[in-house]
Structure 1
Amino acid sequence: MSSLLLFSVFGLSACNSDDDKTHVTKPPILPDTGFVIVGHRGASALRPEHTLAAYQKAIDDGADFIEPDLVPTKDGYLIARHESEISGTTNISTLSQFSDRKTTKRIDGIDYTGWFTEDFNLNELTQNVKARERIAQYRPNNTQYNDQYSIPTLEQIIELADAHYKKTGKIVGLYIETKHPTFFQQQNLAMEDHLLSTLAKYSYTREIAPVYLQSFETTNLKYLRDQLTQKKTLKHGKIIQLLDSPTAIPGDLQQQSSPQNYASLATAEGLKSVAKYADGVGPSKTYIFSNTEFKQTSFVKDAHAAGLKVHPYTLRPENGFLPDYLKCNSVATERCDTGAAKEFENFYKAGVDGVFADDPGLARKTLTQLQKP
């Protein structure tokens, strides 16, 4: 699809409109009928990630989807955190009543030390623990919101999007990642069935909004695909295969002693195999452009040839996250809106179908500028 056509199609994604002749309200158009902007963990460049405030900010700033990462509690509830180890995203290390819960665990071959959501029940986490900025070294301004927001549950996130829809008529999709599914299956805390049943419980996620289910693993996505196909519980459910560093191996394939790494999944043939169970791929942005030079790979072309949508991650506005050729200066913590806007523009023109953005407002502004005649 050409950039011009892509922008024209995206322009059709709007809220409810009235037919002047019939005065009949048309149903809202789904936000994934064109190019999509995903609020990565909310508007995480502007609020601490995975908080209701970050998700609401993303919605207000024009995101088509909000993206929660889900991990389980000890009693099986699904909550939004970047990882189940939460010492870097909450104030838990300061809470004396939980000092004895600090421990070390091996997850997907890596040792982590800290406090883990699966060692706490929901009440302990939602009543006592508050969110903090995860990467304060890059986003010191976000620390002003530290300890203000609770950890949200999946239900609260659905209700937030549903409330916005009821108030404004705008559909905002959910782009949900299940973190480390094989590890949690081994802890008797498998998330997949609980996730599907929770989504099916709400008419918003069951009938109205697009719901994308994503993972860095493959086995759980195939299971989710089978469940969606057989039970048809989600009207607009889709599957997205995430792609990590090319040399890394998905956690489930590590357990199966498979040598298949992400690089093999990202080849033209590998993408054809992914297309058997997924609707799209979420590659790290370096699969499409090198960090050191502005040179596009064949990835978008190969993925589209396999029938897959392409939603790369993560486009961020600070110098510390921009490729060298787009940085404003060498101060990593400073925003570089001109460089970030140029990066958005490069990806839009590369033919991707959407982007994961930490500042969806800037992503929207750049897209709007490109749509102008």
Structure 2
Amino acid sequence: MTPARQHRIQVVAHRGASEDAPEHTLAAYMKAIEDGADALECDVRLTADGHLVCVHDRRVNRTSNGRGAVSALELADLAALDFGNWKGREDATESPDWRDPSLTSVLTLERLLELVADSGRRIELAIETKHPTRWAGQVEQRLIELLERFGLASPERASESTVRIMSFSARSLHRVATAAPCIPTVYLMQFLSLRLRDGRLPAGARIAGPGIRLVRNHPGFVERLHQAGHRVHVWTVDEPEDVELCVRLGVEAIITNRPKQVLSQLGRA
């Protein structure tokens, strides 16, 4: 693969550099920044006491040494858990050393925003709201309030936005578009529905987010999305042949567990 490209594809670290460090931990995001990722992807859920935390699953069982639903636990409960113990520690051969417990405790979205702000370079954030949830509507409300605190939801800065909100839920994106129309929104898709086959997106969605399996099975869909005026951000792209496919199709962003390898394949390492 040659490094020359018609456009620069954004490389987005999925849950951080999650192949090298436990997903959604400070260690994973520090590694992604170190690797040179253009953007960081995270999932957010609301705790019982109203804090946004970066956790993918509804329950903490898979990615921590605890049990229970995130929405039923308070931040202090989550802070007592180790979110790195599940991943084979012999896998971590590169810095940062995620054996440090401070790097594998629960990560709040606020802390991640601080990390990005202190990075010293432009790093974008792709924040996914998870659904269904017992906190219908409150997740989006708290998220927008937090982004406003960091100056990331200002209409005056819309043209230089460094954050976007993603979801499989069209209702969630509609809430965001209504409350903060300056924030770009990404509609995530696992399957190609008949009503969206022509490239249209639900109301409130501005960017298409198809999964790599959908793109493999329906490569022409990317062209239809582009013809409809939409940018295309593909998840989760880890294999070299899938990276090459995304390049050929001219997608705007690749979301990957392996940001360092993808950057190298694109000639940017």
Same fold, judged at TM 0.5 (above): yes
The structure 2 residue matched to 1:123, chosen from 73, 76, 95, is 76
Q: Which residue of 1 aligns with 2:20?
A: 46
What TM-score, normalized by structure 2, do the two folds share?
0.86
Matches within 5 A, 1:210-225: 210-225=162-177
Q: 1:241 to 1:273 in 2, by over 3 A?
A: closer
AA in 2 matched with 1:217 = S
The answer as to whether partners of 1:158 and 1:205 remain within 8 angstroms in 2 is no
Who is 2:180 aligned against? Answer: 228
Q: Which amino acid aligns with 1:221?
A: L
Residue aligning to 2:30? 56
Secondary structure class of the residue paired with 1:56: helix
Question: Could you say what secondary structure the match of 1:55 adopts?
Answer: helix
Q: Which has the larger radius of gyration?
A: 1
Partner of 2:164, secondary structure, is strand
The AA in structure 2 aligned to 1:239 is: T
> Among 350, 353, 362, which residue is 2:249 paired with?
350
Q: Is the 8 A contact 2:12 2:255 kept in 1?
A: yes
TM-score under structure 1 normalisation? 0.64
Q: Is the 8 A contact 2:219 2:249 kept in 1?
A: no
- Per the TM alignment, residue 302 of structure 1 is displaced from its structure 2 partner at its CA by 1.0
Number of residue pairs matched by the alignment: 259
Q: Is the 8 A contact 1:51 1:150 kept in 2?
A: yes
- Aligned AA (2:225): A
Which amino acid in 2 is paired with 1:154? Answer: L
C-alpha displacement at 1:353, in angstroms?
1.2
Deviations 1:112-155 (A, max 9, x none): xx5111121112212x111136676xx97259946831111011
Q: Does the CA contact (< 8 Å) of 2:170 and 2:205 recur in 1?
A: no
Call closer, same or farther: CA 1:151–1:301 in 2, change over 3 Å.
same
Q: Does the C-alpha gap of structure 1 residues 41 and 133 become closer, same or farther in structure 2, counting only changes over 3 Å?
A: farther
Over aligned residue pairs, what C-alpha RMSD do you find? 2.7
Contact map agreement 1:49 1:134 (CA 8 A) in 2: no
How far off is 1:60 after superposition? 1.4
Q: For the Cα contact (< 8 Å) 2:22–2:87, is it kept in 1?
A: no
Secondary structure of the equivalent of 1:307? coil
Aligned counterparts of 2:247 and 2:223: Cα–Cα separation in 1 = 14
Give the alignment partner of residue 184 of structure 1, picking from 120, 134, 137: 134
Distance 1:177 1:48, change over 3 A: same
Map of 1:1-373 to 2, 5 A cutoff?
7-10=5-8, 35-92=9-66, 114-126=67-79, 128-132=80-84, 141-142=91-92, 145=98, 148=101, 149-165=104-120, 170-180=121-131, 182-186=132-136, 190-203=138-151, 206=154, 207=157, 209-229=161-181, 232=182, 237-244=183-190, 246=191, 262-268=192-198, 271-274=199-202, 276-290=203-217, 297-316=219-238, 340-368=239-267
Give the aligned residue type for 1:161. Answer: V
Instruction: Give me the whole-angstrom Cα distance separating, in 1, the residues matched to 2:100 and 2:70.
Output: 17
Distance in structure 2 (CA, Å) of the matches to 1:368 and 1:69: 29
| 3-state SS in 2 of match to 1:310 | strand
Equivalents in 2 of 1:197, 1:267: separation in Å?
Answer: 34
For the structure 1 residues 158 and 367, does the alpha-carbon distance in structure 2 shift closer, same or farther, using more than 3 Å as the test? same
Structure scoring higher RCO (CA < 8 A, sep ≥ 6) equals 2
Counterpart of 1:311, as a letter, is H
* Alignment deviations for residues 187-241 of structure 1 (CA, whole Å, 9 cap, x no partner): xx72011100100101366546511100111111011111122xx5xxxx20000
CA distance in 1, matches of 2:56, 2:175: 23
Cα pair 2:64 2:83 within 8 Å, conserved: yes
Secondary structure class of the residue paired with 2:204: coil
Q: Residues 277 and 203 from structure 1, CA distance in 2 versus in 1: closer, same or farther, beyond 3 angstroms?
A: closer
CA distance in 2, matches of 1:146, 1:84: 25
More helix by share: 1
Structure 1 CA distance, aligned partners of 2:87 and 2:21?
Answer: 11
Q: What is the distance in 2 between the residues matched to 1:179 and 1:140?
A: 31
Instruction: Give me the whole-angstrom Cα distance separating, in 2, the residues matched to 1:140 and 1:241.
Output: 36
Q: Which amino acid aligns with 1:198?
A: L
Q: Is the 8 A contact 1:68 1:80 kept in 2?
A: yes
Deviations 1:8-40 (A, max 9, x none): 442xxxxxxxxxxxxxxxxxxxxxxxx211100
SS of aligned partner of 1:89: coil
Q: How far apart are residue 272 of structure 1 and its match?
A: 1.6
1:125 partner amino acid: L
